[in-house]
Amino acid sequence: MALLIIFTRLRLEEKLLNEAAKRENIPCELRNVTDFYYGGGNFCAPGDVVLARCVSHNQNESVAALLESENVRVVNPSGVMRLCGNKLSTTLALQTAKIPQPNFRIAFTPESALEASRELGFPVVCKPILGSWGRLLAKVNDPEAAEAVLEHKSMLGAMHNVFYIQEYIEKGGFDVRAFVVNGEPICAINRTSEHWITNTARGGRATNFTMDGDVEELLKRTHDTIGGEFLAVDLFNSGGRWLVNEVNDGGEFRNSIEPTGVDIPGAVVRAAWEARVR
Amino acid sequence: MASATCVICESQVKLPDDCTKGELLICADCGTELEVINLDPIAVEEAPQVQEDWGE
């Protein structure tokens, strides 16, 4: 019985998770699934639990779903990945649960996306439905820029023919990345940047953020809606009101351990290990 | 300490002691990001470029 950390690109996070498992005396194996194929025999032993950390969302969700079909416990479950990996799915889940989030419009042509942007009010943010690390986000300040961005997006292939338009939030130069393990908020960082994109992957600076009761309650409600053992939730503060911007199922945490002083990988591997017997 | 030959500039790139298949290395000479694809024998190739669905 072991914890298998599966990956396709060994990031610092996967190394830290492996080291944390050793510290916690959890039998653990890093397994590269780049050449994995389904149907070739048993992937793991009965009772093993898989911590899915493939850098490709599609591959991570697919491997998780295949393993679950063989009754392997995967953390996070593929259903959680499905919700988090598609921004529209996340948005709809949050909306159904009445969790505050930035206003949004969804359109299917550049023309209707332009009209939706006008109605929402410039500036707006065009987001790809699938993607991460702030990639292909566009802050669109006026209709002329919108025409150009939307036309370009329409040429990028099927993944970009659903236009996700989000209200631009004046968030005061920072957002908050909070980590939720087994439904409990364990720590958070404040990400500050002069750029409107505050991802640490894009150079945002991380400092500790002390969560108050309102933030913790919002994070717990978000977890109740999305599920999963480990979530990384991005929050905006708009006029004193907290909004959930994104929910990540495969959160990176290398820049959050030192400022928060919290052993995030330790908490994650403990949660994954506990999941095997649930 | 084991090393690999950079596939771009052919300089020697040191591998950490606990190196794992799939680990990424940066060639100090040319800056190429290399992925360890085999440990015995040691083999590296250019790491794949970021894909559309990569991330968190």
* Nearest Cβ partner for A30 among B20, B55, B56: B20
Residue A250 sits in a domain whose CATH number is 3.30.470.20
Residue B17 sits in a domain whose CATH number is 2.20.28.160
Residue B12 has a CB neighbour count (10 Å cut-off) of 11
* Highest mean pLDDT (candidates A127-141, A206-220, B41-55): A206-220
Structure tokens at A79: 């259903």
Do A94 and A176 lie in one domain? The reply is yes
* Nearest Cβ partner for A7 among B22, B55, B56: B22
Alpha-carbon distance A161 to A150, whole Å? 10
Residue A270 inside a domain? The answer is no
Are B33 and B49 within 8 A, CB to CB? no
Structure tokens at A94: 């949050």
Residue B54 inside a domain? The answer is no
Distance from CA of B11 to the nearest CA of A (A): 23
* Residue of A4, A5, A8, A9 best to disrupt the B interface, most CBs of B under 10 A: A9
| pLDDT higher than threshold 60 for residue A110 | yes
Rg of chain B over Cα atoms, rounded to whole angstroms, equals 12
Do A89 and A180 lie in one domain? The reply is yes
What percentage of chain B reaches a pLDDT higher than 70?
100
Q: Compute the average pLDDT of residues B4-32.
A: 92
State how beta strands A49-52 and A73-75 pair: parallel
Q: Compute the average pLDDT of residues A61-83.
A: 96
Coil, helix or strand at residue A257: helix
Residue B29 phi, psi (nearest 5):
-80, -50
Q: Check B47 against A10: CB less than 8 A apart.
A: no
Nearest C-alpha in B relative to A33: B22
* Nearest Cβ partner for A232 among B20, B35, B56: B56
Q: Give the structural domain span for A210.
A: 84-99+170-261
pLDDT tens, position by position, A176-234: 999 999 999 999 999 998 888 877 777 788 999 999 999 999 999 999 999 999 999 99
Residues of B with Cβ-Cβ distance to A135 under 8 angstroms: 50, 52, 55
Q: Give the pLDDT confidence score for residue A202 in this predicted structure.
A: 74
| pLDDT higher than threshold 60 for residue A278 | no
How far, CA to CA in Å, does A173 sit from each of A68, A130, A241? 41, 24, 15
Number of H helices, E strands in chain B: 0, 5
Residues of B with Cβ-Cβ distance to A198 under 8 angstroms: none
Residues of A with Cβ-Cβ distance to B20 under 8 angstroms: 10, 15, 30, 32
Q: Give the structural domain span for B12.
A: 3-46
Q: Check B55 against A55: CB less than 8 A apart.
A: yes
Alpha-carbon distance A193 to A246, whole Å? 18
- Could you report the predicted ipTM of this complex, rounded to two decimals? 0.83
Residue A21 sits in a domain whose CATH number is 3.40.50.20
Are A269 and A20 within 8 A, CB to CB? yes
Do A20 and A52 lie in one domain? The reply is yes
How far, CA to CA in Å, does A132 sit from each of A46, A55, A157, A229, A254? 34, 10, 17, 20, 16
Residues of A with Cβ-Cβ distance to B21 under 8 angstroms: 32
